[in-house]
């Protein structure tokens, strides 16, 4: 198997949740985004260094990048302009936000949109997410998944993901090639550690 697309979610994957919570609020739902967007824009937004490293290794391996965020385009731009710079869109082949969804569409529809736009079959895409809803939605459309555990969690694996990644800021995630092998079942699992890559294949 060769993965063609690495799909990242926003909250606690590309951007650490503690950075978003610095203003005293979590990632806002659609109706609260306008009120919280300016506050987030004034915070020092921190990108996960592990996510940046994973993006670089995916690009080096010939895979493309996508960003899927069930929040508004305005919120995504506010956060990533502050965290990465205004040229961040150049890194992503697809950026899909809640603005592309109707009121009846779900997070799974967002991932279907990413796949259609990128023209990549689901089984050649890997989503890295940190919530049960994102992981289950991606799995429901046939994507491989890697779940980021909450910081400080002692769980051996993420129940809703094909592979598990440590949420510790000190953790070193597997590079894209290794993670590809793990979700494909050809790489042996790594033991949990904040100093070494942490990923476990799903149990069949």
What's the CA gap between 95 and 76, in Å, rounded?
A: 9
CB atoms within 10 A of CB 18: 11
Residue 202 falls inside a structural domain: no
* pLDDT at position 32 over 60: no
Lowest mean pLDDT among 49-63, 118-132, 146-160: 146-160
| Average pLDDT for 42-51 | 77
CATH value at residue 73: 3.40.50.1000
Assigned domain for 146 exists: yes
CA distance 13 to 123: 21
Sheet order of strands, 94-97 included: 94-97, 64-69, 5-8, 125-129, 144-148, 163-165
Q: Tell me, what's the pLDDT at 23?
A: 38
Q: Are 112 and 143 in contact (CB under 8 A)?
A: no
Classify residue 196: in a domain, yes or no: no
**Chain segment 117-144, per-residue pLDDT in tens:** 999 999 999 999 999 999 999 999 999 9
CB neighbour list of residue 159: distance below 8 Å, 6 or more residues apart: none
Residue 146 domain boundaries: 5-184
Domain-located, residue 41: yes
Is 14's pLDDT higher than 70? yes
Number of independent structural domains in the chain = 1
**CB-CB contact of 99 with 72 (8 Å):** yes
For residue 20, give the H/E element and its range. helix 17-20
Identify the pLDDT of residue 146: 94
What angle in degrees, to the nearest 10, is found between the helix axes of 107-118 and 132-140?
A: 50
Query: Is 195 among the domain residues?
Result: no
Is residue 142 in some structural domain? yes
Q: Locate 124 and state its tokens.
A: 């050649």
- Quote the pLDDT of residue 28: 42
What is the pLDDT at residue 158?
74
Nearest to 115 by CA among 126, 101, 105, 99: 126
CA distances to 34, 126, 142, 150, 177 from 181, in Å = 41, 12, 17, 23, 6
Q: What percent of the chain has pLDDT over 70?
A: 75
- Position 195 pLDDT exceeds 50: no
Q: For residue 128, tell me if it sits in a domain.
A: yes
Q: Please report whether residue 201 resides in a domain.
A: no
């Amino acid at each position: 198997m060769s993965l063609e697309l690495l799909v990242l979610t926003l909250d606690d994957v590309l951007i650490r949740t503690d950075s978003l919570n610095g203003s005293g609020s979590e990632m806002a739902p659609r109706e609260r985004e306008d009120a919280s967007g300016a506050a987030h824009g004034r915070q020092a937004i921190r990108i996960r260094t592990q996510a940046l490293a994973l993006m670089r290794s995916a690009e080096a391996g010939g895979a493309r990048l996508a960003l899927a965020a069930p929040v508004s385009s305005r919120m995504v731009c506010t956060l990533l302009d502050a965290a990465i710079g205004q040229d961040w869109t150049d890194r992503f082949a697809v950026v899909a936000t809640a603005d592309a969804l109707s009121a009846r569409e779900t997070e799974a529809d967002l991932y279907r949109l990413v796949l259609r736009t990128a023209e990549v079959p689901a089984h050649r895409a890997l989503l890295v997410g940190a919530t049960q809803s994102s992981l289950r939605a991606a799995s429901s459309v046939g994507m491989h998944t890697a779940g980021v555990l909450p910081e400080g969690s002692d769980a051996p694996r993420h129940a809703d993901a094909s592979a598990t990644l440590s949420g510790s800021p000190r953790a070193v995630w597997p590079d894209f090639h290794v993670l590809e092998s793990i979700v494909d079942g050809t790489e042996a699992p790594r033991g949990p550690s904040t100093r070494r890559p942490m990923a476990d294949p799903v149990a069949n």
